[in-house]
Amino acid sequence: MTEESLEINEADLLSPSPEATVVDRWTLSSAPEESRAAAMAWWPVARIGLKLVIKRWIFWVFIALGLINFLFFSAMIYFLAGLAAQLKGQRFGEGPLEFARNFIFTGTGESFRDFITSQNTVVMLLLAISGAVLVGNDFRFRSLTFYLSKPLERWQYFLGKLVATSLLVSMLTLLPCLALFIEYGLFGDTFDYFFESRRILFGILAYGLLVSVGMSILLLGVAALLQRTISIVMVWGLIFIFLPIVTEVIHEAAGGSDYWKLLDFWSLLQWCSNAFFGIESGLYSGQPWCPIAALAAWLGAALWAFWSKTRAVEVVS
Amino acid sequence: MNPVSIRDLAKWYGEIAGLNKVNLELQPGIIGLVGPNGAGKSTLMKILTGQLKPSYGEALIFGKDVWKTAAVRRRLGYSPEGDSFYEDMSVLAFVRAMGRLCGLGGSADAFAREALGKTGALEYAGKRLKACSKGMRQRAKLAQALVHKPDILVLDEPLNGIDATGRREMLRLFEELAAAGATVIVSSHILEEIEAVTSRIVFLAQGKVIASGALAEVRGLLKDHPLKLLVTASEPRKLGARLLESGLVTGIVFQRRGGELAEDDLVLSVPQVESFYRALPGLVRELGIGIDRLVPLDASVEAVFGYLVGEEMGGGP
């Protein structure tokens, strides 16, 4: 033992100060009026997620891409309405109009379905890029600890993330499609279109919600498992680009057996959209419960992946 | 009701015991968690903050199981060891967002500013987290734990990366919070600093609590390790002889200073500390000598922990 080690005592320097006896009542447990209702605890999670994404320029690029398609459809509705008004009563007037309607935008279930489906490509790209920001980084950098130590149930964390992702997707699919539906109805001579097209409205809402929620659940599962953007993009590409090609090839090789199509998430969404809009299609000819079960299996697997990752907060290696 | 009750708590990671039958009752004040890497500190903190499910037993916050009752976590604040932030957020936005997660609604901004003021981080509230130094980030982390004014604070290495002046401020803050009725549980490897402010220390090793209580009490229980006291006296040989004769000490070593024998320094082995301190003034008066210095050499957290671990392993330090 040396003299120096005894004389320099850091603990003395850090001893409690006499003025450290202060203070006002610090704890908040007696002020419940400051607290948000527990049932809405998921909303701040969604809000944080949305803020994180909309701060990135790439998000606005995808929104702009989605908007181009929307503006095109919207302009065509306007153009057709104008054309219809101009050609009304004229000789040969209905002929060119019908011709144009067949090609562009007819206000039918097929056209709205096709609009959402065409937006799905942008949605797929947006989610692939946003997955790490929305979910993956929480696991990768262990930000999850900030959520799980707060008065939040795990399902509320999940719901918050799901709402944030679904809102992003619906900004590109459901909401613009509804806007197109309203626009189309308003350009008619009467409002009968709205009353006659309740099935179409149901189709838009159901398909839009399925795309928004279904793809979001899938993303949450993939992002929780893989965490890094590059890995998420690769698996996303595997699901949405490679898998449809492979299932098509197997489908052909297997003598046209429709069961192979059930592996393809896109096909399942498409099958559902046809069912929602009441459109006949040759996508799948078997029992209707099979595509529903296949879709449920996809979403169930994603939910399980997400759930298992939030249950197991790693603290030891 | 104690703020924190831990009953028969065990956590297993496969065949590795993270925690093994831990029982603790913690009252308001500053409680230090001490143990080497892998002792179970992080596991205990994660269970205590509802992030991990115990394999057995329960962790109760004000009588409610923290794993099963998320709402009770409103009374908890947790500052994790890791630096896992949303880097694009400003310090204020981060703390405000964490406040919202704790149930603060419109008042989250005011609470966030107050918490940042308490931790000395208000001056850089508008700075992005990615531009903050380690010390600033540490203060931001503390602020998010304090933002909702919890009754219980669980702080994992809260002094890491903070300079000496900042550490003194933080320790003063902990004292203020404890004086205001909060239970502050601190884990730190800077043992001297913990020692300076804690009212109780919990020693953990290999997933078990090997001792718990005020440092002096725990030290007093180590009967096999007599307290070593350094004494600088005017007539050391006379004092030493009298102490040996009285049976108050079991051994005396002359302290070497700078390689030469310095007879004015004695290192005493004191088995009964309280008896020694009671008898010493009388002996000094009786001998008519002066004592310049009386310093315990092995009553620090580090020394006590060394003895405890040695005993736990079945031998001396």
List pLDDT tens digits, range A300-312: 999 999 998 887 6
Q: Would you say the C-alpha torsion A205, A206, A210, A211 has a positive or negative sign?
A: negative
At A190-203, the pLDDT tens digits run 788 888 889 999 99
What's the average model confidence in pLDDT over A151-167? 93
In this predicted structure, the answer to whether residue B14 has a pLDDT above a threshold of 50 is: yes
* ipTM of the modeled complex: 0.79
Is A17 within 8 Å of chain B by CB?
Answer: yes
Domain assignment present for residue B310? The answer is no
Count residue pairs from A and B with Cβ separation < 8 A: 171
My answer on whether B157 and B244 are in the same domain is no
Is A141 within 8 Å of chain B by CB?
Answer: yes
Domain assignment present for residue B193? The answer is yes
Domain assignment present for residue B312? The answer is no
Chain A residue numbers with beta carbons less than 8 Å from the beta carbon of B15 are: none
Domain assignment present for residue A46? The answer is no
Chain B residue numbers with beta carbons less than 8 Å from the beta carbon of A315 are: 18, 42-43, 46, 52
Is A30 within 8 Å of chain B by CB?
Answer: no
Chain A 144-163, residues with CB within 8 Å of chain B CB atoms: 145-153, 156
Burial of residue B123 (number of CB atoms within 10 Å: 0-12, 13-18, 19+) = exposed
Amino acid A177: pLDDT? 94
At A28-80, the pLDDT tens digits run 444 444 445 567 889 999 999 999 898 889 889 999 998 998 998 888 888 87
Is A40 within 8 Å of chain B by CB?
Answer: no
User: Are A143 and B42 inside 8 Å of each other by CB?
Assistant: no
Which 3 state secondary structure label does DSSP give A149?
Answer: coil
Which residues lie closer than 8 Å to A300 by C-beta, 6 or more apart? none
Is B313 within 8 Å of chain A by CB?
Answer: no
Within 10 angstroms of residue B178's Cβ, the number of other Cβ atoms is: 21
Tally of structural domains, chain A? 1
3-state secondary structure B246-273: HCCCCEEEEEEECCEEEEEEEEEEECCH
pTM (2 d.p.): 0.80
Q: Which residue has the higher pLDDT, A135 or A92?
A: A135
In this predicted structure, the answer to whether residue A264 has a pLDDT above a threshold of 80 is: yes
Q: What is the CATH number of the domain that holds B126?
A: 3.40.50.300
Is A33 within 8 Å of chain B by CB?
Answer: no
User: Are B103 and A34 inside 8 Å of each other by CB?
Assistant: yes
Distance CA B117, CA A124 (A): 43
Paired residues of B65 in beta bridges: B60
User: Are A2 and B257 inside 8 Å of each other by CB?
Assistant: yes
My answer on whether B189 and B66 are in the same domain is yes
Is B241 within 8 Å of chain A by CB?
Answer: no
Amino acid B258: pLDDT? 57
Amino acid B178: pLDDT? 92
Tally of structural domains, chain B? 2
Burial of residue B290 (number of CB atoms within 10 Å: 0-12, 13-18, 19+) = exposed
Domain assignment present for residue A98? The answer is no
In whole angstroms, how far apart are CA A189 and each of A82, A85, A91, A103?
12, 10, 20, 22
Q: Which domain holds residue B256?
A: 227-297
Domain assignment present for residue A181? The answer is no
Amino acid B284: pLDDT? 87
At A74-114, the pLDDT tens digits run 888 888 777 777 776 666 656 666 666 665 567 788 889 98
A1-5, A122-126, B34-38, B121-125: which range is least confident on average?
A1-5
Amino acid A7: pLDDT? 38
What's the average model confidence in pLDDT over B69-84? 88
